[in-house]
């Protein structure tokens, strides 16, 4: 029996985290990550969130895109400070997911204004 693909599992957990936060289920969002104790597994979730955030930020107007880039750099600093601490990495993941939801709301607002 083969072990699950860590990249796919990271994307799945990122999807679950985002879905819970979109539904306003903070405790549920925390529960998604609560059982993940390996730093490596948490980093795969972060990679999925980061790649989505950078991709979605490209669709923003220039000023908002620049602000999003700065926030991504700040999140990178949080990640680096939490490098070996699973609890701190969970905080980073929660903030990363919230950032992605912010990007989506900014994009929706920009679309309404332009449309």
pLDDT tens string 67-114: 999 999 999 999 999 999 999 999 999 999 999 999 999 999 988 888
- Residue 42 and residue 23: Cα distance in Å, rounded? 22
Tell me 60's DSSP state. S
Please tell me the predicted confidence (pLDDT) of residue 35. 87
In sign, the C-alpha dihedral spanning 68, 70, 76, 82 is negative
Residues 6+ apart with CB under 8 A from 53: 68, 72, 96, 99, 100, 103
- Residue 8 and residue 77: Cα distance in Å, rounded? 25
Res. 2 pLDDT band, cuts 50 70 90: low
Distances (CA, A) of 6 to 2, 11, 34, 45: 12, 9, 17, 9
- Domain segments of the chain as ranges: 6-114
Please tell me the predicted confidence (pLDDT) of residue 1. 53
């Amino acid at each position: 029996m083969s072990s699950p693909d860590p990249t796919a599992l990271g994307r799945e957990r990122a999807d679950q985290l985002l879905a819970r936060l979109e539904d306003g289920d903070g405790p549920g969002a925390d529960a998604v990550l609560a059982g993940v104790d390996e730093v490596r597994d948490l980093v795969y979730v972060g990679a999925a969130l980061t790649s989505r955030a950078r991709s979605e930020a490209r669709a923003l107007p220039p000023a908002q895109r620049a602000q999003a880039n700065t926030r991504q750099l700040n999140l990178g600093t949080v990640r680096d400070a939490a490098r070996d601490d699973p609890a701190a990495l969970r905080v980073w993941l929660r903030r990363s997911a919230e950032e992605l939801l912010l990007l989506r709301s900014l994009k929706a607002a920009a679309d309404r204004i332009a449309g």
